[in-house]
Structure 1
Amino acid sequence: MNPPRLLFAAPASGCGKTTVTCAVLQALVNRGLDPVAFKSGPDYIDPMFHAEVLGVPSRNLDLFLMGEQAVRRSLRQNCAGHGPAILEGAMGYYDGAALSSELSAWDLARRTATPAVLVVDGRGAARSLAAVVKGFCALEEEHGIRGVLFNRVSPMFYPALKDCVEEETGIPVYGYLPVLPDASLESRHLGLITAAEVSDLRGKLSALAAQAEKSIDLDGLLALARSAPDLPPEEENIAASHPSRPRIAVARDEAFCFYYADALELLEKLGAELVSFSPLRDEELPEGCAGLYLGGGYPELYGAALANNTAMRRAVRLAVNRGMPTVAECGGFLYLHRTLSDADGVDRPLVGVLPAAAWNQGKLGRFGYITLTARTEGLLCGAGESLPAHEFHYWESDRPGADFHAQKPRSKRGWDCAWHTPTLYAGFPHVHFCGCQQAAERFVAACARYHGENEG
């Protein structure tokens, strides 16, 4: 299979990768080319912007959380029947685990044989930009950089800049975006704010696409995408699904929105029926549910509304205490606390399954990729077994749990975390079920048992 594909990367965060990605995606949509989108790494938020442009889920391609085989499987399967694929890198092009290039956007481009286009912020420099491009091409012999795009440069300066960089580096330059103050994408403590919160997002995307048609060589980028080689065929081995189709209630609203689309689809392939509900607005759990999935998000921004919905807090507390299989990650973990100090510093009463309080520590504490090793047998794995995971949070808990040990890759740093019982996983770390299918199978199987024990 040979899906046309490109990866947009950058020297560092803040260079405008997401802006360029959305501009190109919207322009391709406007041309009727039916593109698909992917995000390198664990970021939940950028794919929301991709999804807003495309009207379909955007997928994460995370070599640590998913593994190389699952990454290529997702790329291959989700490209099928669509037009060009646009992959967006994370951080700087070579920024991987512990000052290495492993697990970086470069590593993703290399392992998926995807041509990379370097997005370079052009503010405050001239010929030095050629040195930036040349340096990125020199660091790795197989650097994979097949093009350059400039962000925030003036139309008058661009022609000379293009000639300079191409002459000095031999890398084609495919265009630029000027400064577009009316089409900026805001950010906050977990990165960009979610797509649903951007004022006039549709107008901003339209403006970005119109500019892309004017100043980006879209035809040249499409030709580069078509030059990508075939992806090797691989068979997907999915365990037999449960005929009882246990229903898992998935928290989906403004407060809980961090999920991996491929992971949700895996739960469905394993036999689960996923039903969305809102802890903000609904007063009871979906009828007949046999499991709960409380993902991450921004419960701290909606503390008052979550606290005021006493009916839902009671319903979740009763379900978890009765042994309904529950996965609660990060924001979902905070929701199970006795109290949560919200963004205004007000302590709000929440579900109360966990005898714990959470508050804003004002900075990132434990964050990044980790390997979880279970100290106890529980919902997701047996004692001594390991799961790849990721932490990223500003809020802290006085009872973060100690049923797993978390170890950072290529580091001596580690810590204990998370609650793990036969029916509950609750903790700050996020997992991606596609990288630990046995955990997904255990979760769905537990939901099927609960359904059978409580049917009727």
Structure 2
Amino acid sequence: MSSIAKRPRGIIVAAPSSGSGKTTVTLGLLAALRKAGVAVQPFKTGPDYIDTGHHARAAGRPSFNLDTWAMPQDLIASIVSQTAASAGISIAEGVMGLFDAGPSRGLSGNGSTADLAASLGWPVILVLDVSGQTETAAALALGCATYRPDVHVAGVILNQVASERHEALIRPGFDRIGLKIFGSLHRTEKIHLPERHLGLVQADEHADYLDRIASLADIITTSVDLEAILAAASEVHFPQDAGLRTRAVYPPGQRIAIAHDAAFSFTYNHVLQGWRDAGAEITPFSPLGNDAPRTDADAVWLPGGYPELYAGQLAAASHFIGGLSTLAERNVPIHGECGGYMILGQGIEDANGERHAMAGLLAAETSFRTRKLHLGYRRATLRTDGALGRKGTTLYGHEFHYATLVTDAGEPLLDMEDGTQSKTTTGSRRGSVTGSFFHLLFARRA
């Protein structure tokens, strides 16, 4: 990562609720500013691993997650300081509603956009879906602006404006409360991005993605005051050299083979960058392409993704599965997160009820036939040494999946606690192979 030259300036794009258009506006701002010649560093509040891929395509540089529940303050400071120092502005997309969070406080906050804004000292720009509203939009914005004195709302971007007359009825309320309108977006299908069960369809799956982003950049350029956005940004609160030595997760080996394709893409850039900074060599391979992990790997990492959409193709990937088995026989650490855990198990039942045999390195049997949402922050303790660290290491992360664990008779991997402090044992271990539905953001060594 680059050396630190300055304290990064940034803004946070937030909203009163999910579905207001945060991602659309964030992508548009990233692409429009990039087109204008501004180096812009994207971030995502919380543990979302799909939006960051969209950010990267729009901004032309990797996007990083910032999570006050699962990350200590010095790790957040480290990520921001080292990734945003060379940018003209940073833009962090919020999560859910501005003040919405889980039921508990984590390492440096409760995971809300507001907690991150207060921690960084970056001003908030609210995206307001004004469908069916006129003056009420200003009242809603005023409530958000005054709810917490440590969160500064610099202004709003109006979304889903029906007409020029509609906008004319909205603006007087904002004049009265003295809150700036940075721009307004009228209703259009040109900026719609398709979704699936875990969120937006991934950026790499759109054949016309660059055209969509270019169109969105043009809309934002003509509809939003970009100079005012740049002027609204402020310097981050923490010192210039804060957290420079903080690492999220220690690498599981010197030579790490990591699955990466349309079925396995849910990775965190701060984790991968931390491994590289520690001297690890990361080599991607494609299970969908029937690639085996490198034979000299010290560790194999199978991230989450959408294996249920490709279960038949993965079941037939004999070279991939054989390569995993060979490394497991040599006691090379192999770990699967969520989708990776499902692949390491005995089999996956897809949405149509058809079972597909998997690697068989763990006892887990999973099903996608009856969808059930599992979502939330998790704190876990390792029950044994392995790819995730030493026995007793405390892990911070989350779960987000619709798959159901039918059975897993293997040795439990984790002592888990959710946001309500409900406790259970979860995950599985067999020899050097481990897996669970848990997505890791930060590990505190025992």
Distance 1:406 1:238, change over 3 A: closer
1:269 aligns with 2:277: yes
Q: Which of 291, 294, 302 is residue 294 of structure 1 equivalent to?
A: 302
What is the number of equivalent residue pairs in this alignment?
433
CA distance in 2 between partners of 1:86 and 1:358 (Å): 38
Corresponding residue for residue 68 of structure 1: 73
Q: Which residue of 2 aligns with 1:79?
A: 84
Contact 1:9–1:89 (CA under 8 A) maintained in structure 2 = yes
Residue 3 of structure 2 corresponds to: none
Instruction: Compute the displacement of 1:4 (Å).
Output: 2.0
Identify, as 1 or 2, the structure richer in helix: 1
Contact 1:28 1:34 in 2 (8 A): yes
**C-alpha distance 288-378 of structure 1, shift in aligned 2 (>3 A):** closer
Kept in 1, the 8 Å contact 2:120–2:236? The answer is: no
Q: SS of the counterpart of 2:256?
A: strand
Residue identity (%): 32
Alpha-carbon contact 1:321-1:353 (below 8 Å) kept: no
Aligned pair in 2 of structure 1 residues 288, 384: CA closer, same or farther (>3 Å)?
closer
Select the residue among 13, 16, 38 that pairs with 2:21: 16
CA 1:353 to 1:420, structure 2 compared with 1: closer, same or farther past 3 Å? Answer: closer
> Aligned pair 1:320/2:325, yes or no?
no
Counterparts of 1:289-438 in structure 2 under 5 Å?
289-360=297-368, 362-400=370-408, 402-409=412-419, 411-420=420-429, 423-432=432-441, 435-436=442-443, 438=445
1:279 to partner: Cα distance: 0.5
2:295, 2:323 within 8 Å by CA — same for their partners in 1?
Answer: no
Most deviating of 248-257 and 259-268:
259-268
| 1:280 matched residue in structure 2 | 288
Q: Which moved more, 1:87-96 or 1:154-163?
A: 154-163
Distance, in Å, in 2 between the alignment partners of 1:112 and 1:174 is 22
Distance in 2 of aligned mates of 1:128 and 1:160: 13
For residues 87-106 of structure 1, give each alpha carbon's deviation from its aligned partner in whole angstroms, at most 9, with x where no partner exists: 00011110112188822001
- For the Cα contact (< 8 Å) 1:371–1:406, is it kept in 2? yes
Match for residue 51 of structure 1 among 47, 53, 56 = 56
User: For residues 186-201 of structure 1, what are the structure 2 equivalents within 5 Å?
Assistant: 186-201=194-209
1:444 maps to what in 2? Answer: none
TM normalised by structure 1 equals 0.89
Matched, 1:30 2:35: yes
Equivalent residue for 1:41, pick from 35, 46, 52: 46
Q: What per-residue deviation string (whole Å, max 9, x for no partner) do you get for residues 209-249 of structure 1?
A: 11111110111010001x3355313252369xx9xx83110
Q: State the Cα distance separating 1:110 from its structure 2 match.
A: 0.5
Distance 1:337 1:157, change over 3 A: farther
> Deviation digits for residues 307-353 of structure 1, max 9, x if unmatched?
11112112112212431112210011011011111243321111110
- Aligned pair in 2 of structure 1 residues 324, 139: CA closer, same or farther (>3 Å)? same
Name the counterpart of 2:12: 7
Equivalent residues of 1:388, 1:436 under 8 A apart:
yes
Relative distance call for 1:362 and 1:285 in structure 2 (3 A) is same
Partner-residue secondary structure (3-state), 2:172: helix
Q: How far off its partner does 1:13 sit?
A: 1.0
CA contact (8 A) 1:17 1:88 kept: yes
SS across alignment from 2:440: coil
| In structure 1, distance between residues paired with 2:218 and 2:185 | 11
- Pairing 1:205-244 to 2, within 5 Å after superposition: 205-225=213-233, 227-232=234-239, 233-237=241-245
Structure 1 equivalent of residue 101 of structure 2: 96
User: Does the Cα contact within 8 Å between 2:190 and 2:216 map onto a contact in 1?
Assistant: no
Q: Which moved more, 1:215-224 or 1:319-328?
A: 319-328
Unaligned runs of 5+ in 1: 440-456
**Cα offset, 1:355, TM superposition:** 2.2
Change (3 A) 1:308 1:322: same
Taking the aligned partners of 2:383 and 2:117, their CA distance within structure 1 comes to 36
Counterparts of 1:385 and 1:291, CA distance in 2: 18
Letter in 2 for 1:133: A
d(CA) in 2 for partners of 1:238 and 1:229? Answer: 18
CA distance in 1, matches of 2:343, 2:285: 14
Instruction: Please report the TM-score for the alignment, with normalisation by the length of structure 2.
Output: 0.91
What does the per-residue CA deviation read over 1:250-274, in whole Å, with 9 as the maximum and x for residues that have no partner? 1000000011111011112222100
The amino acid that maps onto 1:436 is A
SS in 2 for 1:134: helix
158-167 or 170-179: bigger deviation? 158-167
The amino acid that maps onto 2:64 is R
CA distance in 2, matches of 1:263, 1:382: 17
| Alpha-carbon separation, structure 2, partners of 1:27 and 1:208 | 8
Q: Amino acid of the residue matched to residue 370 of structure 1?
A: R
Please say if residues 165 and 173 of structure 1, whose CA atoms lie closer than 8 Å, have aligned partners that are also in contact.
no
Separation in 2 of the partners of 1:317 and 1:5? 47
Report the counterpart of residue 448 of structure 1 in structure 2: none
CA displacement at 1:171 relative to structure 2: 1.5
2-side partners of 1:269 and 1:16: how far apart? 35
| d(CA) in 2 for partners of 1:382, 1:36 | 34
Structure 2: runs of 5 or more not aligned: 1-5
Q: Once the 2 structures are TM-superposed, how far is the Cα of residue 358 of structure 1 from its aligned partner?
A: 0.9
Q: 1:308 to 1:357 in 2, by over 3 A?
A: same
C-alpha RMSD of the superposition: 2.4
Residues 137, 170 of structure 2: 8 Å contact kept: no
Indicate if the aligned counterparts of 2:259 and 2:287 stay in contact, CA closer than 8 A: yes
Counterpart position of 1:142: 150
